[in-house]
Structure 1
Amino acid sequence: MSFDYDLFVIGGGSGGVRAARVAAQAGARVALAEESRYGGTCVIRGCVPKKLMVFASEYPGAMADAQAYGWTVHAGGFDWSAFHGKLEAELDRLEGVYRGILSGNNVTTFDARATLADAHTIELSTGERLSARHVLVAAGGHPVRPDIPGAELGIVSDDIFKLDALPRSILIVGGGYIACEFACILNGLGVQVTQYYRGAQILRGFDGEARGLVADEMIRSGVDLHLGTNVLGMARAEGGVRVTPTHGEEKVFGAVMFATGRVPNTAGMGLEAAGVELGRNGEIVVDDYSQSTVPSIYAIGDVTDRVNLTPVAIREGMAFVETVIKGNPTPVDHALIPTAIFTQPEMGTVGLSEEEARDQEPVEVYAASFKPMQQSFAGRDDRVLMKLIVSRETRKVLGCHIVAPGAGEMIQLAGIAVKMGATKEDFDHTVAVHPTMSEEIVTMSAPVRTG
Structure 2
Amino acid sequence: MLISASVALRSRSTRLALRPLLTSSGTIRKFSSKLSSLPRNSSIVSPLDTTSNTASRRLSPLISHLSPLASITTSSRVNMPPLPKPSLDEYDAIVIGGGSGAMGMSRRAAQYGAKVVVIEEDGRLGGTCVNVGCVPKKLMWHAADLADALRETPEYGFGDAEGKPINAEPKFQWRYFAEKRDAYVRRLNGIYDRNLEKDKVEYLSGHAKILGPNEVEVSLRGDDGKFDAGTHTIKGKKIVIATGGRPTKPSEEQVPGAHLGIDSDGFFALREQPKRVAVVGAGYIAVELAGVFNTLGTETHLLIRHDTFLRNFDPIIAETLQDYMSKTGLNVHQKTNIKKVEGKEGGPLTLHLDTGKTLEVDTLLWAIGRRPNTDNLGLESAGVKTDDKGNIAVDDYQNTNVPSIHALGDVAGKALLTPVAIAAGRRLSNRLYGGPQFANDRLDYNNIPTVVFSHPTSGTVGLTEPEAKEKFGEENIKIYTSRFTSMYFGMLEHKQPTAYKLVCAGKEEKVVGVHIIGLGSDEIMQGVGIAVKMGATKADFDNTVAIHPTSAEELVTMR
366, 390, 402: which one pairs with 1:258?
A: 366
Distance in 2 (alpha carbons) for counterparts of 1:138 and 1:383: 39
1:48 aligns with 2:162: no
Q: Is 1:416 aligned to 2:520, yes or no?
A: no
Task: Name the residue aligned to 1:381.
Answer: 495
Equivalent-residue separation in structure 2 for 1:406 and 1:7 (angstroms): 41
Cα deviation, residue 291, structure 1: 0.7
1:13-412 correspondence runs (5 A): 13-36=99-122, 37-72=124-159, 74=167, 75-126=169-220, 127-147=231-251, 148-236=255-343, 240-327=348-435, 328-329=438-439, 330-361=441-472, 362-412=476-526
Q: What SS does the aligned partner of 2:206 have?
A: coil
Equivalent residues of 1:3, 1:133 under 8 A apart = no
Kept in 1: contact 2:196–2:202 (CA 8 A):
yes
Q: CA RMSD in A?
A: 1.3
Q: Quick check: 2:325–2:455 contact (8 Å CA) kept in 1?
A: yes
Q: Aligned with 2:292: secondary structure?
A: helix
Instruction: Kindly indicate whether the alpha-carbon contact (under 8 Å) linking 1:143 and 1:259 is maintained by their aligned counterparts in 2.
Output: yes
> After TM superposition, which residue ranges in structure 1, 4 or more long, deviate above 4 angstroms?
none
SS in 2 for 1:93: helix
CA contact (8 A) 1:376 1:382 kept: no
Larger radius of gyration: 2
Query: SS in structure 2 opposite 1:272?
Result: helix
Aligned-pair CA distance for 1:248:
1.1
Task: Report the Cα offset of residue 395 of structure 1.
Answer: 1.2
Q: State the AA in 1 paired with 2:153.
A: A
Q: Is the 8 A contact 1:386 1:401 kept in 2?
A: yes
Deviations 1:282-332 (A, max 9, x none): 110011110111110000100000110000000100111011122432122
* Residues 157-201 of structure 1: CA deviation (Å, up to 9, x unaligned): 001111121111100000000000000011112111000000221
Mean CA deviation greater in 264-273 or 88-97? 264-273
Whichever structure has more strand as a proportion of its residues is 1
SS in 1 for 2:286: helix
CA distance in 1, matches of 2:246, 2:343: 25
CA offsets 1:32-55 (integer angstroms, 9 cap, x no match): 010112000000000000000000
Aligned to 2:393, what secondary structure does the other structure show? coil
CA distance in structure 2 between the partners assigned to 1:208 and 1:76 by the alignment = 36
Moved more, 130-139 or 365-374: 365-374
Q: Is the 8 A contact 1:243 1:252 kept in 2?
A: yes
1:65/1:375 contact within 8 Å kept: no
**What is the alpha-carbon distance in structure 2 between the residues aligned to residue 151 and residue 86 of structure 1?**
30
Q: Which string of whole-angstrom CA distances, capped at 9 and with x for unpartnered residues, describes residues 379-400 of structure 1?
A: 1232110110111323100100
Shift of 1:239: 5.3
Size of the aligned set, in residue pairs, is 444
After superposition, what is the alpha-carbon deviation per residue over 1:318-375, rounded to whole angstroms, capped at 9, x for unaligned? 1110111224321221010010000001111000101111112221110011122211
**For the residues of structure 2 that align with 1:6 and 1:444, how far apart are their CA atoms?**
53
3-state DSSP class of the match of 1:113?
Answer: strand
Tell me how far 1:102 sits from its aligned partner.
0.4
Q: CA deviation at 1:3?
A: 5.9
DSSP-derived class of the 1:201 partner:
coil
Q: Determine the C-alpha separation between the residues in 1 that align with 2:434 and 2:384.
A: 24
- Tell which has more relative contact order, 1 or 2 (C-alpha 8 A, sep 6+): 1
Amino acid aligned to 1:54: W
2:96–2:242 contact (8 Å) kept in structure 1: yes
Q: CA deviation at 1:405?
A: 1.4
Identity %: 39
Describe the SS at the equivalent of 1:111. strand
Shift of the alpha carbon at 1:245? 1.2
Stretch moving more, 342-351 or 370-379: 370-379
The residue identity in structure 2 corresponding to 1:363 is: I
Taking the aligned partners of 2:486 and 2:395, their CA distance within structure 1 comes to 45
> Hey, what's the Cα distance between the residues in 2 that align with 1:438 and 1:272?
51
CA shift for structure 1 position 141: 0.1
**Conserved in 2, the CA contact under 8 Å of 1:239 and 1:253?**
yes
